[in-house]
Amino acid sequence: MDWLTTVDHKKIGILYLIAGGFFFLVGGLEALLIRIQLWKPLNDFVSADTYNELITMHGTTMIFLAAMPMLFALMNAVVPLQIGARDVAFPFVNALGFWTFFFGAVLLNVSWFTSTGAPAAGWTAYAPLSGPAFSTGHGMDYYVLGLQIAGIGTLIGGINFLVTIINMRAPGMTFMRMPMFTWASFITSALILFAFPALAVGLAALMFDRIFDANFFDPNNGGNAVLWEHIFWIFGHPEVYILILPAFGVISEVISTFSRKRLFGYSSMVFATILIGFLGFMVWAHHMFTTGLGPVANALFSIATMLIAVPTGIKIFNWIFTMWGGSIKFTSANLYAVGFIPTFVMGGVTGVMLAAAPADFQYHDTYFVVAHFHYVIVGGLILGIFSGLHYWWPKMFGRILNETLGKWTFWIFYIGFHLTFFIQHFLGLLGMPRRIWTYLDGLGFNEMNLISTIGAIMMGIGTIMFILNVVITNAKPQNAADDPWEDGRTLEWTIPSPPPEYNFKQTPLVRGYDAYWKEKMDGHKGMTPAEPIGSIHMPSPSILPFTMSLGLFITGFGLMYSRDWTFITEHIGFYVAGLGLLITFGSMFLRSVYDDHGFHIEPEELEDKGVKA
Amino acid sequence: MSTHSHADGHLPHEPEKATLEGRNKVLGFWLFLGGETVLFGTLFSAFLALRHQVLDGPQPSELFKLSLVAAATAILLTSSLTSVFAIQALHNHNVKALINWLIVTVVLGLGFLGLEIYEFYHYVHEGHGFTTSAFSSSFYTLVGFHGAHVAFGIFWISSIIGQLMKKGLTVVTAPKVYVAGMYWHFIDVVWVFIFTVVYLMGKVV
């Protein structure tokens, strides 16, 4: 019950981690089934329909239900601590964001258990394939409504982090003293704010097409299928940077800490991050070169895409220069961070190849593309998340993950990853198309697909080892020091692990970049407080975020079956949808009418430990 | 009723920005409006892409009655002015005037919504249903989203009026009023674009 009503950012971070981790396993299982199907030619392990469902759900799950929540987990756990805040700006909204994500994710996955099956039009849901004419049954309805509900959570989460970072920094924490992870979270949140509403409109239009017979994307009724591609990718390309920027932030923190050096070129890192965020919105049509937009559009989007390599290159070199001459400690967290650099560079290089429009006509829809984006997303984002989890685990849970097991996990996962995806570049160049259920013998695809499948199984073993590590660590006593790596540079390492409910007994005074490190170098034991010890105002827990999201879940369900359910009267689904909306709006009304005054923690109570998990 | 206890001296000039919670709300709402801008921008793009696809349905030029739309526009823009008066009353700590101006704003909003419902009803009778063509789908989606925003704003401001009557003007209620005012202006600005892009361009081209 405590976990259903919590508004504490650290607990919400843990909730995001558990839910996101669960869907990472689901998405990983889907990936393994895909790889088992492709391990030999003319395999019939799964049917063609099931295969389409698997690739659709694998992409959707990994991007929206695994990667983003795990990033939100790290952002929730760390950002308020890094800027010296007691909580996020809107704790209630933070909880609401988690629960809408959770119920959206559950709704999407319920589709597996229905008679018409999961969505099967690809994670990009290209119209008119995703429209009512081609995707009969309810699979795509689950996609549209599940993502819509989950998207609300992401959007309000993004706004929350923006306000938190702008308004709630500790005294002295200027923008140009903010840790890189906080900066990356800030830019990511801005991208969420400007990208997700476009997706919301696209999904709403597709829902109207599917449920209310609108004509947005149906060419027979004057609709325009390319319109869907534009709307999807004006969201979808920034989404790539929404995913990768926080990973960049993690890498910056980890490499700097374990090299015992200030991050090289901090201000250029900040501006590179901003520039990447900006250019992320200028390049969406490179996904559509082969749609036939014409040479002018292709040339412009081609150049804009290649431009992103410049700020990314700045970041890569700064990480290398940070390590240069540092006294590097290869902890598990740092192994992931160092392993990230060459992997991400390889993903970036194939990105530039794909950005050349004429070359893209060759690569398009082959395994070369699959290899490219898995190098970026798994080799970039997932390694970044693993790095961040190992790095901040003691801060989140008060226990250090087992280092030996962590290093084994890294090597198995890392080798498995390269085995899976490096070879797919060549499969693509040989002409193996993506999104196909099986392939013929004698095309030269057999051995490479087998190697790729073996690599995928290794990644699965690595993931299981990580879970094992979590279980083993969880059985140990909660005894991590405040600064367990002993080289912590930022504010989160100045408070106990795990932090108490109120984070900082006294708001710290920040006197420079790498605030804690600066105090250490000046010979101080801890931060200078910026305020006397006093009573601390805390928000009260609330069940309303849960009920609001539950209402949306019921609404989504009702809308989908608005035409099927007739057992009492016609259109019973609409009544169910109405009931759901009533629950949601009723909860919103209650929230607005009853002011939440919260409670105070008095100075004499300031001793208890907060998060337990 | 608690007007007097919170009269000048207790409340700062801008009570909506007196607390960190208030400042967070106002900033967060500005950002939210940034997201809303993208939302309506995408709806406008979809409408612009599809507005010539009328199929068998009526043309926009024979459908739209500009006099009706002009009246709705005048009503909505006036409601923006009255919401400014409400915020001025907020800054003068005049709860009575604040509530009255908010009520005027809500009434004008209801007037606009009534005209829009009549307009849609009329169009459907002219053979311009939601499913008639890509033009009609995108028209009803864009204008309907705006109308839903107006309806939501009416409920929202009404519930704030209720809170002001019960709790008076405090540092808790002031940011709510201020933020609702921002929302109402945003709706008006969107309508100016709808008036231009949907109705005027529909008449011309």
Per-residue pLDDT tens digits for B171-183? 989 999 999 999 9
Q: Residue B9: its pLDDT value, please?
A: 52
Amino acid A597: pLDDT: 82
Statement: residue A608 has pLDDT above 70: no
- Write the Ramachandran bin of A125: left for phi over 0, alpha for psi from -120 to 50, otherwise beta: left
The one-letter amino acid at A275: L
Selection from A256-265, A603-612, B11-20 with the highest mean pLDDT:
A256-265
- The answer for B 82-101 residues in CB contact with A (under 8 A) is none
pLDDT of residue B95: 94
A contact test, residue of B31, B53, B56, B135 with most A CBs within 10 A: B31
- How far is A401 from A477, CA to CA, in rounded Å? 12
pLDDT, tens digit, for every residue of A311-346?
999 999 999 999 999 999 999 999 999 999 999 999
Mean pLDDT of B63-82: 95
- Identify from B19, B37, B138, B155 which residue to disrupt to test chain A contact, counting A C-beta atoms within 10 A and taking the largest count: B138
Rg (CA), chain A: 24
For residue B5, the model assigns a pLDDT of 42
Predicted pLDDT at A151: 95
Residue of B nearest to A196 (CA): B35
The answer to whether residue A405 scores a pLDDT higher than 60 is yes
The distance of B140 to chain A (nearest Cα, Å) reads 10
CA distance A340 to A506: 37
**Does B42 contact A163 at a Cβ distance shorter than 8 Å?**
no
Q: Which of residues 147-176 of B touch A (CB under 8 A)?
A: 159, 162-163, 167, 172, 176
Whether the per-residue pLDDT at A569 is higher than 90: the answer is no
Q: Which of A208, A209, A227 sits opposite B49 (nearest CB)?
A: A227
Stretch 96-155 of chain A: residues touching chain B, C-beta under 8 Å: 155
pLDDT at res. A22: 97
Model confidence over A282-297: pLDDT tens digits? Answer: 999 999 999 999 999 9
Half-sphere exposure of B24 (CA within 13 A, CB side): 21
Amino acid, single-letter form, for residue B109: G
Residue B6 has pLDDT above 60, yes or no: no
Distance, first Cα to last Cα, chain A: 14
> Which of B50, B55, B167 minimises the CB distance to A216?
B50
pLDDT classification of B7: cutoffs 50, 70, 90? very low
Give A222's contacts in chain B (Cβ within 8 Å): 50, 53-55, 133-135
Among B24, B35, B46, the residue with its CB nearest the CB of A205 is B46
Nearest Cβ partner of B134 from A159, A197, A215?
Answer: A215
Compute the radius of gyration of chain B from its Cα atoms: 19
pLDDT tens for residues A12-43?
A: 999 999 999 999 999 999 999 999 999 999 99
pLDDT, position A105 = 97
Average pLDDT for A585-593:
89
Nearest CB to A222; choose among B46, B50, B163: B50
pLDDT score of A598? 86
- Suggest the residue from B33, B39, B156, B186 to mutate for an interface test with chain A (most A CBs closer than 10 A): B39
Average pLDDT over residues A590-606: 83
**Amino acid B121: pLDDT:** 95
- DSSP annotation string for A255-317: HHHHHTSPPTTHHHHHHHHHHHHHHTTS-GGGGGGGG---HHHHHHHHHHHHHTHHHHHHHHH
Q: Do B49 and A222 touch (CB under 8 A)?
A: no
Q: Residue A606 has what pLDDT? A: 73
ipTM: 0.92
Q: Which stretch of A127-136, A236-245, A256-265 has the lowest confidence by average pLDDT?
A: A127-136
Closest CA to A222 of B82, B162, B139: B139
| pLDDT of B36 strictly over 90 | yes
pLDDT of the residue at A112: 95
pTM (predicted TM-score): 0.94
pLDDT, residue B165, reads 94
Q: Does A399 touch chain B (CB under 8 A)?
A: no
Query: Which residues of B are less than 8 Å from A163 in CB distance?
Result: 24, 27-28, 31
- Which amino acid is it at B169? L
| Bridge partner list, A508 | A529
Mean pLDDT on A333-362: 96
pLDDT value at residue B10 = 72
> Chain B interface, mutation test: which of A159, A203, A217, A232, most B Cβ atoms within 10 Å?
A159
* Residues 6+ positions from B165 with CB-CB distance below 8 Å: B1, B99
Q: Which residues does chain A have within 8 Å of residue B2's beta carbon, measured at their own beta carbons? A: none
Q: Assess whether pLDDT exceeds 60 at residue A471.
A: yes
pLDDT score of A607: 62
Exposed e or buried b per residue across A548-570, where buried means at least 16 C-beta atoms within 10 angstroms of its C-beta: bbbbbbbbbbbbbbbeebeeeee
User: Percent of chain A beyond pLDDT 90?
Assistant: 90
Q: Alpha-carbon distance A353 to A347, whole Å?
A: 10
pLDDT given at position A564: 79
Report the mean per-residue pLDDT for chain A: 94
Minimum distance, in Å, between the CA of residue B187 and any CA atom of chain A: 16
Cis peptide before A498 (omega within 30 of 0): yes
pLDDT band, residue B205 (cuts 50/70/90):
low
Q: Looking at residues A267-273, what average pLDDT do you find?
A: 97
Nearest Cα residue in chain A from B21? A89
Which residues of A fall within a CB distance of 8 Å from B53? 215, 221-224
Which among A408, A389, A386, A387 has a CA at the least distance from the CA of A399?
A: A389
Q: How many of the other CB atoms lie within 10 Å of CB of A293?
A: 17
**Residues in chain A closer than 8 A to B163 (CB atoms):** 592-593
Of the candidates A281, A271, A273, A283, the one whose C-alpha atom is nearest the C-alpha of residue A248 is A273
The number of C-beta contacts closer than 8 angstroms across A and B is 111
A162/B contact by beta carbon, under 8 A? yes
Chain B residues in contact with A507 by the CB 8 A cut-off are none
- pLDDT interval class at A562 (50, 70, 90): confident
Q: Do A213 and B53 touch (CB under 8 A)?
A: no
Strand partners, A433: A366
Element (H, E) at A13: helix A9-37
Residues on chain A touching B24 (C-beta within 8 angstroms): 89-90, 163, 167-168
Quick one: pLDDT at residue A54?
Answer: 97
